[in-house]
Structure 1
Amino acid sequence: MPDTKAVTEDLKTKAAGETSRQSPDSKEPSGSQEEERSGLHAEPPEIVYTSPLEALDRYSTKSLDRAANAHLARFTLGVSPYGLSSTFFTWWVHLMGAPGKQVQLMEKAARKAMRLGIYAGQLARDPETPPCIKPLPHDHRFEHEAWQTWPYNLIYQAFLLSQQWWYNAACDIDGVSARDEQVVSFLSRQMLDMISPSNFIATNPEVAQTTLREGGANLLRGYQNFLEDWERAVSGKLPIGTEDYLPGRDVATTPGKVVFRNRLLELIQYAPTTGKVKPEPILIVPAWIMKYYILDLSPHNSLARYLVDQGFTVFMVSWRNPTAEDRDKGMNDYFGAVAEAMDAVTAIVPDTGMHGVGYCLGGTLMAAKAAQMARDGDDRLATLALFATQTDFEEPGELQLFVSESEVAFLENMMWDQGYLETKQMAGAFQLLRSADLIWSRYIHEYLMGRRQEMFDLMAWNADATRMPYRMHSEYLRQIFLGNELAEGKYRLGGKPIAIGEIDVPIFCVSTTSDHVAPWQSVYKLHLLADTPITFLLTSGGHNAGIVSEPGHEGREFRIRTTGEDEPYASPEDWLAAADRRDGSWWPELVAWLSERSGKEVPPPGLGTDTAPYQAIENAPGSYVFQR
């Protein structure tokens, strides 16, 4: 017989461990009821059980729930079916209780059917009849001229009318929140995108013509493409074509040295290319969900190389790809790693301030760090530049559809099992945001048409993501994203809350017009939080492509305006109307802004220091960028 007391103690230990993983303490005092409820700042409560059977029951049932959800998440790419089902049910119940809305939808359905019938009759008389409904500006599925021939024109017009009806059905229902309406509209769009006539051989004229012309050879090539992609996916390889964009050989080629390394990051210092440099170095912190070399892509579109060529000393953070061993690394660890990188920059380039630059989540981190430094009287920052960065997450755009209490709990169960959030599970949500372009367009071209999409540097980088530790991602989602603690002055660093309004250095903030991750209106809310001059720049492009906007890039334009410290707040619409519009790349604007706030040029510093701990370790791009 086993020792009952020993079994009880063992179960207590395991249960306490599970509690710690579920709600890890943050090594800082709580200081608020909200933090105590979240469990992220408070010490884990003492676990007391009256018997081994009760301990076994509580521990095993919770573990069973977590294990079941963790395995389910592998099939749903980390998207919680529970929260989505609950939202859909809420919408349906309220719709059933709205007879007026039902009558309106029936009327709309009848009117759309009539429009389609009239259009069909006009087509019979005149094949050149213009369509009765046009696709949205971003919808390119029906642009091929063959869609204007019968019967394909009638097929895609019926689809667009159905799509419009579903949008009307999802919205404007009493009792349903705006977020729930957005979720239902999003789910409806995903289902309709799945059954779009462009996705089937018989109803896609371009595919049908290609199949007849090639005798089905396109489908054979497409099947071979599918098998190749499937083999690479299950074996953990990067997509085909990425081998032509190897860091250090094809991308991330700007010369430099790794001058500091800790558990979470490597610090790269780039070699100077000019005889003299600005005295203030630039420290760039990219998001920890991406490899750093989006800012050091090919030589012609590398922001790091461009800044070096303009006479700046540039340091870049290269994040480590965490494993299950890093499951307990939290936000404080990431802030601490950046603090160590700043100490390294100060040691290598002493007696001067630095220009802080953050991209995406790295910008959120840098904004919080800048607020902490201002609060504590640390004056090492000369300026702060933020690229596609949100500091207020009340309206984070379509990404909020995947971040709810249900979704966070689902992700936590998955990360509890793995110790981290896998890159494929993270990519699933981003692909769904633009499924027509990122999923179904590829399906049509590569599997139905049998044509491989040509790989390029930005696409290769996009496939080379990093994982996120369990604890860090849980804290970020609960505190910064869901709790919006950074914007509300509740987020704590160094044991005390920080406020964006305490930042006392000029800010250069870049946003993009087509950003699905950080919509520019949400990024613009920095004006409500910061009490310092803000130069806001809105450039064309998306979250990544708009930032990689080198001089000479065709079709680029931007708007820019500086809001002084004492100027009244202007709405995003008013700012857009007042901002100057300019053609071309925004990079020269950044250089001009930094130069105005830099001192007289000096000889460039050495790469690292002559003695430890900031001696040059190895050549750029370092080791962490190659971790899979």
Structure 2
Amino acid sequence: MTAASATSAIPSLEELQHWTWVLGRAQQMMLESGLSAAAAAGQQEAGLPVIPGVNDPATIRRAEAFWTDSLDLWRRFLDPAAAKAAEDRHASDKRFAAPQWRDNPVFDWIRQSYFLISDHMLKGIDSLSGVDERQKEQLRFAAKGFLDAMSPSNFPATNPLVLEKTIETGGENLLKGLQHMLADLSKGQLTHTDPDAFELGRNLATTPGKVVKRTPLYELIQYSPTTDKVLAIPLVIFPPWINRFYILDLTPEKSFIRWAVDQGITVFMVSWKSADATMKDVVWDDYIEAQIDAIDTVREGLKVESVHAIGYCVAGTTLAATLAVLAARKQADKVKSATFFTAQIDFTRAGELLHFVDDEQLALIRTLSPDGFLDGRYLALTFNLLRGRDLIWNYVTNNYLLGADYTPFDLLHWNGDTTNLPAKWHMSYLTDLYRDNLLVKPGVLTVNGTPIDLGLVKTPSYIQAGRDDHIAPAESVWSITEHFTGPIKFVLAGSGHIAGVVNPPTLGKYQYWLNPAPVKTLAEFVAGATETKGSWWPDWISWLRDQDSAEVPAKGARKPGKGALKAIEDAPGTYVRSR
């Protein structure tokens, strides 16, 4: 079949104009008579019951608006000049960026019809009465997911690019796409990037270091110094246990770890073990005590009184609890300073993830963990659903329908490198923190008998939030400033949960905002903040040195395996490779 024959099979513009006139006239008749009569009947006939969502005045008005917009769409279809002049609110939607979606009247009508239905569906949810705001948010989230799935860009017959590619390749794109889809089905996970492009130790997680401790829950990695002198106080980093630690050690030019080492810091990294059946009884207490154990290991191994600590995302949540436990045990001086990357402690405004912690969702999660651990692919799917348009349907179109090859992308490789979670601990995290918000209630949660009170935390803290973070919204991260009682520096970084953190100065990307004034809300912070272009990392290292600038020679125990902490194997270790 040729492109010419495919085009001739499509009705001519004159034929389409005739039938759209017929349909448009029919709609106009319905608008002028049926809907108006229904509205009048609803108002005048006392005997006719008013049914919410069917014939109440608000529903009638929404129906009238829908039919009016539909009729306008038909008129613009019949008058291409008017269509081109009309304002397109969805012009920036990347799914329909190709000119074929506008140059061809049929596909332009398909595109605009989709937006018309989408807009009115979401407006309908916004106008619902008798529904609390949380239920509305859940309905909006579900509706957006449904609308993203039903986009005409996701189907061969309604996507002009797929039709062209199919004709051009004689259907080879669909066969190649089917091959991609079957491969993903076999592994139970959507592929985002070339699976052979990256390898741990070769072009990811390459910062030189040694594993110097291994427990059933974590490995501790110490990195080799690159400067003659280092800060006397070392740094311990706690990455999220729901992901692999090398998000902070991607390719060398993006590695926060390599950069921190080059700044003259002795860096230690915790690498959490991906859960298996042996970890079925691991709970909250175990992760907190593991963080304390790592802190004590570094203190004793380097013979220092305290460490600097970083907690990223959920590990920042547990770091906050760790600081509270240490304070309650009169051991707060073990941590000189704490840094939080996009971490939350008060989950009142925790964003779209709250949609996954109602009773039905939690019951489903319980059924997915028969062996005592949750397969990391389920969690990966959850995070993909939060950005389904970009992380699911974009790849359905490009790799399944168009049959495009996967491109190398280190961040997406990491995103697909899933980690299993201890089921008992994961469930308590969702219920105690996300659902019930118990961490901010003094004394309600405990760790091995020690009550947690965040108000006891006086450790100097650097708190980083991402302006566009959809996993840990900036307002939620800000709440740390409302619970800790020590000196705090808050920085709002450009971009989101990952790019807002992993933003090396050499890239010159994004920006950050600071406001030294004593403010009580994020809105006040933003209103008086000063913007600085580029990475916030230099500001952080300056702040860290302000806590204690003393230095020591980078020798002896400052080199992995040369002190009391003996080398077990080279970084990045064993746990990061386990599946």
TM-score bracket for the superposition, by shorter chain length: 0.7 to 0.9
Q: Are 1:143 and 2:97 an aligned pair?
A: yes
Contact kept in structure 1, 2:190 and 2:392, CA below 8 Å: no
Q: Are 1:359 and 2:309 an aligned pair?
A: no
TM-aligned CA deviation for residue 97 of structure 1: 6.2
Contact kept in structure 1, 2:346 and 2:439, CA below 8 Å: yes
TM-aligned CA deviation for residue 237 of structure 1: 11
- Once residues 99 and 57 of structure 2 are traced to their aligned partners in structure 1, the CA distance between those partners, rounded to angstroms, is 37
- Once residues 146 and 554 of structure 1 are traced to their aligned partners in structure 2, the CA distance between those partners, rounded to angstroms, is 35
Contact kept in structure 2, 1:276 and 1:603, CA below 8 Å: yes
Give the corresponding residue for 2:150.
Answer: 195
- Once residues 580 and 535 of structure 1 are traced to their aligned partners in structure 2, the CA distance between those partners, rounded to angstroms, is 14
Give the corresponding residue for 2:474.
Answer: 520
Q: Structure 1 residues 289 and 123 mapped into 2: Cα distance closer, same or farther (>3 Å)?
A: same
Contact kept in structure 2, 1:141 and 1:198, CA below 8 Å: yes
- Once residues 51 and 213 of structure 2 are traced to their aligned partners in structure 1, the CA distance between those partners, rounded to angstroms, is 63
- Once residues 393 and 215 of structure 1 are traced to their aligned partners in structure 2, the CA distance between those partners, rounded to angstroms, is 53
Give the corresponding residue for 1:618.
Answer: 569
SS in 1 for 2:230: coil
Q: Are 1:596 and 2:546 an aligned pair?
A: yes
Give the corresponding residue for 2:344.
Answer: 390
Q: Structure 1 residues 611 and 505 mapped into 2: Cα distance closer, same or farther (>3 Å)?
A: closer
Give the corresponding residue for 1:83.
Answer: none
Q: Structure 1 residues 97 and 570 mapped into 2: Cα distance closer, same or farther (>3 Å)?
A: farther
Range that drifts further, 437-446 or 485-494: 485-494
* Percent of residue pairs bearing the same amino acid type: 34
Q: Are 1:532 and 2:482 an aligned pair?
A: no
Unaligned runs of 5+ in 2: 1-49
1:436-457 Cα deviation digits (max 9, x unpaired): 1111110000111111231211
Contact kept in structure 2, 1:354 and 1:380, CA below 8 Å: yes
Contact kept in structure 2, 1:348 and 1:609, CA below 8 Å: no
- Once residues 223 and 237 of structure 1 are traced to their aligned partners in structure 2, the CA distance between those partners, rounded to angstroms, is 13
Paired letter, 2:577: F
Q: Structure 1 residues 265 and 101 mapped into 2: Cα distance closer, same or farther (>3 Å)?
A: farther
Q: Structure 1 residues 309 and 608 mapped into 2: Cα distance closer, same or farther (>3 Å)?
A: closer
Range that drifts further, 164-173 or 358-367: 164-173
TM-aligned CA deviation for residue 136 of structure 1: 8.4
TM-aligned CA deviation for residue 165 of structure 1: 1.3
* Residues 90-105 of structure 1: pairs in structure 2 closer than 5 A: 98=52, 102-105=56-59
- Once residues 399 and 506 of structure 1 are traced to their aligned partners in structure 2, the CA distance between those partners, rounded to angstroms, is 29
The partner residue of 2:254 within 297, 301, 308 is: 301
Unaligned runs of 5+ in 1: 1-95
- Once residues 468 and 373 of structure 2 are traced to their aligned partners in structure 1, the CA distance between those partners, rounded to angstroms, is 30
Count of aligned pairs: 524
Q: Structure 1 residues 382 and 213 mapped into 2: Cα distance closer, same or farther (>3 Å)?
A: same
TM-score normalised by L of structure 2: 0.86
* Residues 337-348 of structure 1: pairs in structure 2 closer than 5 A: 337-348=290-301
* Residues 398-437 of structure 1: pairs in structure 2 closer than 5 A: 398-415=352-369, 417-437=370-390
SS in 2 for 1:277: strand
Give the corresponding residue for 2:133.
Answer: 178
- Once residues 516 and 330 of structure 2 are traced to their aligned partners in structure 1, the CA distance between those partners, rounded to angstroms, is 26
- Once residues 517 and 345 of structure 1 are traced to their aligned partners in structure 2, the CA distance between those partners, rounded to angstroms, is 31
Paired letter, 2:119: Q
The partner residue of 1:164 within 119, 138, 147 is: 119
- Once residues 341 and 377 of structure 2 are traced to their aligned partners in structure 1, the CA distance between those partners, rounded to angstroms, is 24
Paired letter, 1:623: T
SS in 2 for 1:307: helix
1:318-359 Cα deviation digits (max 9, x unpaired): 001110121111111111211111111101222332111000
SS in 2 for 1:315: strand
Contact kept in structure 2, 1:383 and 1:506, CA below 8 Å: yes
Q: Structure 1 residues 444 and 318 mapped into 2: Cα distance closer, same or farther (>3 Å)?
A: same
Give the corresponding residue for 1:80.
Answer: none
The partner residue of 1:581 within 526, 531, 537 is: 531
TM-score normalised by L of structure 1: 0.79
1:506-560 Cα deviation digits (max 9, x unpaired): 2111111222211111111112112222211122222112211111325411212
Contact kept in structure 2, 1:133 and 1:157, CA below 8 Å: no
- Once residues 85 and 157 of structure 2 are traced to their aligned partners in structure 1, the CA distance between those partners, rounded to angstroms, is 23
SS in 1 for 2:205: coil
Paired letter, 1:506: P
TM-aligned CA deviation for residue 585 of structure 1: 1.2
- Once residues 95 and 60 of structure 2 are traced to their aligned partners in structure 1, the CA distance between those partners, rounded to angstroms, is 28
1:28-47 Cα deviation digits (max 9, x unpaired): xxxxxxxxxxxxxxxxxxxx
The partner residue of 1:224 within 172, 175, 179 is: 179
SS in 2 for 1:151: helix
- Once residues 347 and 593 of structure 1 are traced to their aligned partners in structure 2, the CA distance between those partners, rounded to angstroms, is 25
1:377-402 Cα deviation digits (max 9, x unpaired): 21111111000100101121001001
* Residues 56-67 of structure 1: pairs in structure 2 closer than 5 A: none
The partner residue of 2:558 within 606, 609, 612 is: 606
RMSD of aligned C-alpha atoms? 2.2
SS in 1 for 2:515: strand
